Amino acid sequence: MKINVEKEKILKAINSVTKAVASKTPMPILEGILIQTNDNEVKLTTYDLEIGIEYILECEVKEQGATVVNAIMFSEIIRKLPDTDISISINEQNLLEIECEGSLYKLATMNPDEFPELPQINIENSVEIEQNTLKDMIRKTIFAVSTEENRPIFTGCLFEITNNKLNVVAVDGFRLAWKSKFLQSKINDFTAVIPGRTLNEINKILVDSFDTIKIGIAKNQALFEMENCKIVTRLLDGEFLNYSSVIPDTWETRIRVNKNVLLNCFERISLISASSIEKEKKYPVKMSIDIGKVTICCTNQTGDAKEEIYVSTEGKNLEAGFNPKYFLEALRAIDDEEIYVDFGSSISPCIIRPVEEGDYIYMILPIRMKE
């Protein structure tokens, strides 16, 4: 095998595929990148048995071949080389040689025949969507995915096509994030729960453009296809929350507030909430809603804080406690200037929603406050 390739091109490919390199594995081959040539193309593949990524790029192929090389070492060397053409080849000792200007590196290789094949996916349903749209939908929901492995189904996002609308939903038992998008073409209804880790890695590869990405769903696998990159992932098994049945459609108290004013308020108050000497303790903030005003306060051993903001209010006065982190993450995901925050009672969920008919909802469960 011998190829000549621009550093910028191969580095972009490496940055994409290294997101599926295994760590702490008894199989050293999974810590590698499979490099294969085909005519005037080279394909890089990584696979940790959960996520697999393939990236194809055009280059000058002088000799066909295949090999596997340690991903971290290979990527770090390429990253630090000068910004010019790089020659990559296999020598007679089966070492990978990397040459660039006056630099020459030789790396041990592994047998490409031992690299596991990516699953073959028989796509049953698919949807095509612009990359910037998917990137935005993931960004606005992924933070609410659960990190608790005792409920694996909640460690992923629900992708649901219904009535020609894509819904992406994340829930962790304390909050829920929902984002939707109407689709241009007719798509069959389907549901799939995609691991949060996969979506985080896909989001790093997606570009903020109108280029499309195709999402194909099979029985227990999903396939994400872009122009020169393919990502395969397993789906999560289990029954996802019937989210539409748990989102309240009525409220007893409503505030209309500038999103950034509320966000800045929570960012300041969380300095006290998060500064407890007893790190394992969670100190909620208390929201008190009166006519035309919201007071947010927090007290612990470190000190106390109180913020007042003037807002438009409807309904009853109310007091409720919340984890400020949940408010912060939801508010940071919202682009609107003004929002509604709806409350039922001090023990029922709070809903953040757009002022106009919108395509997102954030639900946050309250924390019982000590008297």
Question: What distance separates the 2 farthest-apart alpha carbons in the chain?
Answer: 81
Give alpha helix (H) positions in 241-356: 259-273, 324-333
- Which amino acid makes up residue 14? I
* Domain 247-364: CATH superfamily, name plus number: DNA Polymerase III, subunit A, domain 2 (3.10.150.10)
- C-beta neighbour count of 212 within 10 angstroms: 14
Low-confidence ranges of the chain (pLDDT < 70): 275-282, 371
Same CATH fold assignment for domains 2-114 and 125-241 = yes
Report domain extents, the chain: 2-114, 125-241, 247-364
Classify residue 112 as left (phi > 0), alpha (psi -120 to 50) or beta.
alpha
> pTM for the whole thing?
0.91
Tell me what pLDDT residue 280 has: 47
Tell me what pLDDT residue 275 has: 60
The CATH class of 2-114 is alpha beta
The CATH class of 125-241 is alpha beta
Q: Are 349 and 341 in contact (CB under 8 A)?
A: no
| HSE value, Cβ hemisphere, 13 Å, CA-based, for 36 | 13
pLDDT digits (tens, 9 = 90+) for 162-199: 999 999 999 999 999 999 999 988 999 999 999 999 99
